[in-house]
Structure 1
Amino acid sequence: MENFEVSIAEILEVDNIQLSDELESFDAWDSLTILSIIAHCDDKYKVALSANEISESKSIRGLKELILSKK
């Protein structure tokens, strides 16, 4: 998953992220951000995610593991 952290950082409107960062800790975290992540994962990784699955991931690491589990 090349450039995963860079892409997610752009969606979250920050310069960089750590795998341990909690998703809800970002200022840009809202329903539109979740929709952006859904669209990004569908386009880039050909993985379908639900808003609920993303919310349950809790962290950047959890999100990455979720995507990998669906590939």
Structure 2
Amino acid sequence: MENFIESISEIFEEETVELSDELESFDAWDSLTILSIIAICDSEYNVPLSAEEIENSGTILGLRELIESKM
């Protein structure tokens, strides 16, 4: 999880992101972003996620906690 913030920043096309940021608040938030998150979680963390789980996580912190709970 050491590169989590950097990976999420790249996906959202932002210089930096905060754990408290709402996922839906990013301009880049769309179905392709969700697919990118699913791909990163599968390849980097070996964690399968659904689009619904990602959407329900709400924030970047929620997303990280979801991934950690499935590791």
TM-score category, normalised to shorter length: over 0.9
Give the TM-score taking structure 1 as reference length: 0.99
Aligned residues: 71
Q: Which structure 2 residues correspond to residues 1-71 of structure 1 after superposition, within 5 A?
A: 1-71=1-71
Report the Cα distance in structure 2 between the residues aligned to 1:37 and 1:59, rounded to whole angstroms: 13
Q: What is the TM-score normalised by the length of structure 2?
A: 0.99
Please list every run of 5 or more consecutive structure 2 residues that lacks an aligned counterpart in the other structure: none
CA distance in 1, matches of 2:2, 2:45: 10
How far apart, CA to CA, are the structure 1 residues paired with 2:17 and 2:62? 13
The letter for the 1-side match of 2:11 is I
Unaligned runs of 5+ in 1: none
Superposed structure 1 runs of 4+ greater than 6 Å apart:
none
